[in-house]
Amino acid sequence: MFKPAKQQLEIIRRGAVEILIEDDLLKKLERSIKTGKPLKIKAGFDPTAPDLHLGHTVLIQKLRQFQQLGHRVMFLIGDFTGRIGDPTGASETRPPLTPEQINENAATYKEQ
């Protein structure tokens, strides 16, 4: 069912500059193989604009690698950043959005 843990880790390393706490990831991969249960990989995206963009592709491709290795991927669409805008106040490109705008953007994420 699953490839050996070290082989999975090699695949996951591809295209990554750094994996934080790599030993923990290897242990989780080994446990996944031993129990026969896939890892649950979660990634959150804020619908601050109507379309996913090039900047999202790196993470989406990494999620796809986990999926191809037999793990469960959860693409989470949050709304917090959309509601408050840029929390640092440094960027006017991410103004606060209305709940309706957030829902519309989230719907386009689902379609994509």
45 vs 16: CA distance, rounded Å: 19
Q: Each residue of 32-89: pLDDT tens digit?
A: 999 999 999 999 888 878 888 888 899 999 999 999 999 999 999 888 777 777 677 6
- Where along the chain do its domains lie? 1-37, 38-112
Bin 18: left if φ > 0, else alpha if -120 < ψ < 50, else beta: beta
Mean pLDDT of 15-44: 96
Residue 16 reports pLDDT greater than 80: yes
For the chain, how many helices (H) and strands (E)? 5, 2
CATH number belonging to domain 38-112: 3.40.50.620
8 Å CB contact between 28 and 45: no
Mean pLDDT throughout 2-28? 96
Q: pLDDT at position 51, please?
A: 87
Q: CA-to-CA distance for 52 and 107, rounded, in angstroms?
A: 11
**Where residue 91 falls among pLDDT bands split at 50, 70, 90?**
low
